[in-house]
Structure 1
């Protein structure tokens, strides 16, 4: 089943994000290579694809896991969590309807 991992950043998280980004992307690439990643990306702080110094306010990952517990465990092990980027993380089952 798919799960949505919705993360909210702490204020002014950009420098923390940048330091943990390579390890964060490596884990997403692993999900992608396993065919389990539906989509992933950050929420820009401004209404533009490149918010510059304003940074990001959070992230969304939708990926396939065996269970809610497995998805939560994967989310808990995210390098952004270890680096203190996220203020909160919510993991919920996700049912794809369209497209």
Structure 2
């Protein structure tokens, strides 16, 4: 079953996001290699491909998992 994982940033979360990014990307690459990743991407704070200083407000991952717990 596909699950949508919607993450919302909290105030001043950039340092946490930067430290988690390598593991996050590694997991996305693994899901893609397994054929389980449908789509993933950030939510820009403003409507532009490069939000610059406005940053992002969160992200979305839609992938196939065997259960909610696995997701």
Change (3 A) 1:16 1:52: farther
**Deviation beyond 2 Å, 4+ runs, structure 1:** 12-16
Residue 22 of structure 1 and its aligned partner are, at CA, apart by 1.6
- What TM-score results when the alignment is normalised by the length of structure 2? 0.89
Would the aligned equivalents of 1:43 and 1:59 in 2 still touch at CA under 8 Å? yes
Instruction: Find the counterpart in structure 2 of residue 8 from structure 1.
Output: 8
Between Structure 1 and Structure 2, how many residues are aligned? 71
Are residue 46 (structure 1) and residue 50 (structure 2) matched? no
> Which sits farther off after the overlay, 45-54 or 29-38?
45-54
Aligned-residue Cα RMSD (Å) equals 1.2
Query: Unmatched 5+ residue regions in structure 2?
Result: none
Within 5 Å, give how 1:1-99 maps onto structure 2: 1-71=1-71
